[in-house]
A and B are shown apart, each in its own frame.
Chain A
Amino acid sequence: MRIFLLLIAVTFIGNLNAAKLPVEKAILTAPPMVPPQITRKHPAKVIIKMETVEKIGTITDGVEYVYWSFDGTVPGSFIRVREGDEIEFHLSNNPESKMPHNIDLHAVTGPGGGATSSFTASGHTSVFSFKALNPGLFIYHCATAPVGMHIANGMYGLILVEPKEGMTPVDKEYYVVQGDFYTKGKYGEAGLQAFDMQKAINEEPDYVVFNGSVGSMVGDKALTAHKGETVRLFVGNGGPNLVSSFHVIGEIFDKVYIEGGTAINKNVQTTLVPAGGSAIVEFKLDVPGNFIMVDHSIFRAFNKGALGIISVDGDKEPDIYSGKQADKVYLPEGSTVQDVGGKTTKAAFAQSKSERIRFGKRVYESNCQACHQADGSGIKSAFPPLAISDYLNNDPKLAIKAIQQGLRGKITVNGEVYDSEMPAMRLSHEDTANVVTYILNSWGNKGGEVTLEDVANQGH
């Protein structure tokens, strides 16, 4: 009898496994948001519906680009499934599209990553299914010829296959994907820019951006969090060409899921994100402020747009980061630029008063500004003002003398007594003439010009 019951039980359980999985529709989100963590502890059949869309967008102020995209965004929607899920993928190509498109998901084990089975003409839908065998964070992208062009135009995104045991909960999760863009015109050149195939082959991008455009996560679009929260970034790199050195200025990654896989590294400053690859980074926010995501191949961040902001509010933590505690003057003897010998190029000589003023400004900034300040206001009781200074305006020759020979002892400027020491500045006659001319013509001073003769006449 027992054996009979056991047999029935085994058959029943066997049938359960063969029985259909619960069906659910995937929640897809637009960047930078991420669908909620998966809580179920069993596999499911997940229906995913995505659409390829070709549309004109703004890559930076004044510059338009024809993006090819999944679901109208670059990167395309974030897909979140669980290891072992069976996914039924519906790929539609918007009827307005000019090109056919398909999809290769790096999470797919199978020919083309799904591309062979999803090649879709505009106004049609392809359906194929796959099982998510491996956990990890995977790129997906279009793989229609010419593949590089489809990717370069923005056809990529991320699919997360959560491991069976799930991921540790965190406070905030965000979606960031880097991409390089190649346009006919230079960075910032206005108008509708076409894709430049030759630049793409040469791997010389004009734009390197997060989430499809310059400033996508800046200002009111910055990612937000509170001090004390743990943030997880799902970082992808659609390429098509460049590898990213992903770094968050002011933070250290407590945890990095290397290349979006299972191995974990800790205490990492900058992590590599391969083209067509990913990384997951986690960090706890210990102080408030703006933390800037960059590709640390730094010209990409500051000259091509690979920059985004995480804005963190909360009370300051001076023990962890104090902010500026002091701002003091540093003025060693002989503050002019030291000549280290060797060939020096002959400096240009000023040919006119306006040139003197222009050259003099540079001299002022390098030699005088530290004490007398950028606006000529000086520092009370220490360094006399030059702005509307009676001492100077009554007799500019005194300025020449102070520069050439130094000045020690009590002087009265604008009614205040200064008893200090100004070292001789070792400036050339040309520089002296220029800087005094600049001073005389700035901040409300009386104007005029100091020539080389004036300087020479002061003796040295």
Chain B
Amino acid sequence: MACPQASEMVSIAGGEYRPLYINKDFPKTKVKAFLLDIDLVTNQQFYQFVRRNLQWEKNQIPSIFTEEGYLKHWSNKSEHWQPNVQIEDLPVTNVSWFSADAFCRAEGKRLLTVDEWEYVARASKKHINGNKEESYNQRILDWYSKPQSSLASSTLKANYNFWGVNQLHGVVWEWTEDFNSSLVNGESRNDSSIDSKLFCAAGAAGSADPSNYAAFMRFGFRSSLQAKFTLGSLGFRCAK
């Protein structure tokens, strides 16, 4: 195995944006400048982390930090769980928030906040704010409406946005540092209080952009998670 390469990062300039749940009349949310991994963390990189930190191995990890499906797509070879060669360079999935957080810390980095993720992810190829582009949201919605197919290098396409960050959309959902702080409660029709950032689906009077269904779905998705969950459609990247 080659020496692990810490993922390359790009610099994201500070700015402001309006999160979905903040009313138009309220000031925008400020995002400070930060560094962000260009790519999602891969199976290979995560494997290197586990080899150096055996307490995060599938057999060792305490059950409060994850659940049964942890790294279930890796193979059990000679007492170690490791990814097959074919999936080494694919984004790692089936990891809990705790393990993702530990990985980033081990690299002197951290998980990014929801605000930071949404701020960077709304960029299209050409613009910092892709929401103005006609098909931008629809393309994202199209991915959300397809079932999760298994990741394969043949189907993964590079998708660098304005900031030079790759595959923020169309590959996997991503863990964020504070995913559980903006909640949809399970009942998506009577959420309306701005204080607790709850909102109603499609046509919510309180939301900044009722047509941004993609954002609704991301917020909905994040609300269904708990930190120990592992999903085959959920990976992560790190920030600084």
Contact = CB atoms under 8 A, between A and B. Distances in A.
Contacts, number: 109
B201 A147 contact: yes
B229 A195 contact: no
Contact of A112 (B145, B187, B201, B226): B187
Contacts of A55: 147
A112 B186 contact: yes
A66 B189 CA distance: 24
A54 interface: yes
Interface string B192-206: 000000001110000
B32 interface: no
B232 interface: yes
28 contacts: A54-B148, A55-B147, A66-B145, A95-B69, A95-B232, A98-B146, A98-B148, A98-B173, A99-B220, A100-B224, A112-B187, A116-B185, A116-B187, A118-B186, A119-B184, A119-B224, A122-B231, A144-B188, A145-B188, A145-B202, A146-B188, A146-B202, A146-B213, A146-B217, A147-B189, A147-B202, A149-B202, A197-B141
Interface in A185-229: 194-195, 197, 201
The majority secondary structure among interface residues of chain B is: loop
B175 interface: no
A420 B138 CA distance: 71
Interface string A116-129: 11111111100000
Interface residues of A, number: 35
B67 to A, nearest CB: 9
Contacts of A100: 220-221, 223-224
Contact of B224 (A54, A120, A146, A147): A120
B189 A149 contact: no
Contacts of A116: 185-187
B224 A143 contact: no
Nearest to B213: A146
B87 interface: no
B231 A121 contact: yes
A14 interface: no
A111 interface: yes
A99 B231 contact: no
B232 A96 contact: yes
A301 interface: no
Interface in A303-360: none
The majority secondary structure among interface residues of chain A is: loop
Contacts of A117: 186
A123 B231 contact: yes
A124 B184 CA distance: 18
A97 interface: yes
Interface in B216-240: 216-217, 219-221, 223-226, 229-233
A56 B201 contact: no
A153 B217 CA distance: 14
A119 B223 CA distance: 9
Contact of B147 (A66, A112, A121, A147): A66
B144 interface: yes
Contacts of B69: 95, 123
Given A98-B173, A121-B221, 17 more contacts: A54-B148, A96-B147, A98-B147, A100-B224, A112-B187, A116-B185, A118-B186, A119-B186, A121-B229, A121-B231, A144-B186, A145-B188, A145-B217, A148-B201, A149-B213, A194-B141, A195-B145
Nearest to B138: A197
